[in-house]
Amino acid sequence: MGAAPASRDVTSYGMGLAAPLALFFLVFFVAPLLQLLWLSLHNDTAALHWGLGQYLHFLTDPFSLSVLGSTLLLGAEVTAVCLVLGFPIAWLYQRVGPRLQTIIILIVLLPLLTSVVVRTFAWIVILGRQGIINATLQSLGIIDTPLKLLYTQFGVVIALAQVQMPLMTLPLITALGRIDPNLDDASCSLGAGSWRSFFKITLPLSLPGVIAGCTLTYAAAITAFITQSLIGGGQMLFMPMYLYQQASTLQNWPFASAISIIFLLAVLAVVSVFTTLGRMSRGYGGA
Amino acid sequence: MSGRKRTLEAISFEFVMTVIAIIALIIIIAPSLVVLIVSFTSGFSLRFPPPGYSLRWYAELWDAWQLHFAAKNSLIVALWATGLSVVLGVAAALAISRSRTLSARLLDSLFMSPLVLPALAFGLAALMLFSLVGLPVSPLTLVIGHTVVCVPYVIRNTVAALAQLEPTLLESSAVLGASRLYTFRRIVLPLIRPGIIAGAFIAFMSSFDNVPVSLFLRDAATDMLPIRMWQDLEGKLDVTIAALSSVLIIATVVLVAVMERVTGLSRRLTN
């Protein structure tokens, strides 16, 4: 028992340890997704007739296409807002002492671990007719009647940006921490100026972090069912709610499956575009 | 002249970056503070600032048995899903972490994919499979579904902890005649324990907060807390939800502080 042969690699464990989870995923993750695909390829709810009817329905229906379009656009807007607000946080993090660093990281982390319903609820309080923004603007006499902020695209974007901000900021902090600070100093002392050094040195070198952050933020923003439906209200429909309505209220499982597959493919397409960009940028950053 | 110009330029850059960073940090933290303040209102609406302060909505929350019931269900499901995720996830992490083979990398991508795939699509897919094989939705199906979406957090944190492990430690242990199991129990496990705890914590929080999977996999008798809150908010804006939200925010702050002490959570998430 004690005489382990020295030649055996003691640092690795057998692949057999992964078998239980692999089996679990095969049964409860891969099989359901395959069944989803199978059902989406049927034209009727009883799943008797094969065909691409569900996909044709989605792709020729202006309403469905507009839901897909507005969902993808929403993701882009949220990602842009998160990048513009998140990058300076990561930049500030590298500039302050360890105590402030811990405070910044905890401020960023906290929303990530707070319930999404709670965070979204906070935005209802802020954006509502009697909310902070309207109350402040009215008491300052800037507006007479409350602005409509809830149930608007602006409201959804700002609320989602806050909810997803940690997913952007954490990879950026990691990426900026890996850049040699001497490069920025060198650039400045050679007369490039702070703005130019930032756009020519810091930003390009942090691209792997930017891309990782954008991927996570984008995927999370377009699938953020709760925030989309509570802040967007009934008038604004995005893919997750569309899927849920078709599956749950209308019990149209084949069409809901087709929506799921199209949505899955859209997410995968975006993720793989970002991953390809990431691979290219790592080559650039390492040069 | 040019030196002065450069300084001004540097100041303008630092000023803009710092101001945006501070605004962004305020945007991150403000919503939680607003909820905390509003929950102490003496009024009936979510007006801000509140017309007066009282604990009435906390008293209301104390009697809200529907919310208590939902919270209990969420807690039980989250505990089971976390336990299952730790058992399956740590074993899988041990297998794939130091292996460079193609199968290890494929398994890694498979186990991580629930993080990017829309959870609602997975919830629907799982419901359809369960109904096909005749397994009715129940707390069991909830635990299974939650485990699929929570196990990536355990694996990621355990793999990261294993990567920090010094291989010479294990080799010395083996040379000194310790069996692999003994080395695992006495050396590997104590060293990766903080990583496992951090992963388990994030898995627990994400299960407790899960809506998309629960929406499809719960039965009518199993009300889950985030879904109950969501449906309450769709109907009417109840201040009791503000009191509940405050309790959840405080609980999260306390748990994060404990986890920061025990596992150095913030370092784990930025490395």
Interval B164-220: pLDDT, tens: 888 888 888 888 888 888 888 888 899 999 999 999 999 999 999 999 999 999 888
Q: Which CATH class is domain A63-237?
A: mainly alpha
| Percentage, residues of chain B above pLDDT 90 | 52
Contact at 8 Å (CB) between B233 and A124? yes
Q: A-chain residues within 8 Å CB-CB of B171?
A: 10-11
Chain A nearest-CA residue for B165: A11
What is the model's pLDDT at position A9?
60
CB atoms A20 and B88 under 8 Å: yes
Interval B247-259: pLDDT, tens: 999 999 999 999 9
Could you give phi then psi for residue A42, rounded to 5 degrees?
Answer: -120, 145
Interval A21-48: pLDDT, tens: 999 999 999 999 999 999 999 988 777 7
What is the model's pLDDT at position A5?
43
Which of A13, A132, A223 is the closest to B119 by Cβ? A223
Q: Sign of the CA dihedral B97, B99, B100, B106? A: negative
What is the model's pLDDT at position A265?
92
Q: Flag whether pLDDT at B263 surpasses 60.
A: yes
Q: Flag whether pLDDT at A51 surpasses 80.
A: yes
Angle between helices B225-235 and B239-263 (to 10 degrees): 150
Contact at 8 Å (CB) between A260 and A243? yes
ipTM of the complex: 0.88
Q: How confident is the model at residue A2 (pLDDT cuts 50, 70, 90)?
A: very low
Q: How confident is the model at residue A182 (pLDDT cuts 50, 70, 90)?
A: confident
Least Cα distance to A115 among B207, B113, B146, B86 occurs for B207
The residue that leads in pLDDT, B9 or A231, is A231
Q: How large is the average pLDDT for residues A208-220? A: 91
For an interface test with B, the pick among A91, A118, A130, A263 (most B C-beta atoms closer than 10 Å) comes out as A118
What is the model's pLDDT at position A287?
38
CB atoms A21 and B145 under 8 Å: no
Q: How confident is the model at residue A157 (pLDDT cuts 50, 70, 90)?
A: very high
CB atoms B211 and A226 under 8 Å: yes
CB atoms A263 and B118 under 8 Å: yes
Q: What are the residues whose beta carbons fall under 8 Å from the beta carbon of B125, sequence distance 6 or more?
A: A32, A33, A35, A36, A257, A260
The residue that leads in pLDDT, B101 or B77, is B77
CB atoms B49 and A24 under 8 Å: no
Q: Return the number of CB contacts < 8 Å for A and B.
A: 298
Q: Flag whether pLDDT at B98 surpasses 90.
A: no
Q: Flag whether pLDDT at B117 surpasses 60.
A: yes
At A285, list the tokens.
Answer: 């950053």
What is the model's pLDDT at position A286?
44
Mean pLDDT lowest among A155-159, B169-173, B225-229: B169-173
Interval B126-173: pLDDT, tens: 999 999 898 888 899 999 999 999 999 999 999 999 988 888 888 888
Mean pLDDT score of chain A: 86
Q: Flag whether pLDDT at A75 surpasses 90.
A: yes
Which of B22, B25, B245 is the closest to A121 by Cβ? B245
Q: Give Cα A192 to chain centroid, integer Å.
A: 35
CB atoms B34 and A198 under 8 Å: no
What is the model's pLDDT at position B6?
61
CB atoms B230 and A226 under 8 Å: yes
Q: How confident is the model at residue A1 (pLDDT cuts 50, 70, 90)?
A: very low
Least Cα distance to A146 among A156, A161, A135, A157 occurs for A135
| Percentage, residues of chain A above pLDDT 90 | 43
| Percentage, residues of chain A above pLDDT 70 | 94
Q: Flag whether pLDDT at A283 surpasses 80.
A: no
CB atoms A111 and B23 under 8 Å: no
What is the model's pLDDT at position A177?
87
Chain B nearest-CA residue for A222: B118
For an interface test with A, the pick among B82, B96, B116 (most A C-beta atoms closer than 10 Å) comes out as B116
Question: Rounded CA gap, B229 and B244, in Å?
Answer: 9
CB atoms A15 and B148 under 8 Å: no
Q: To the nearest whole angstrom, how far is the Cα of A3 from the nearest Cα of chain B?
A: 6
Q: A-chain residues within 8 Å CB-CB of B89?
A: 21
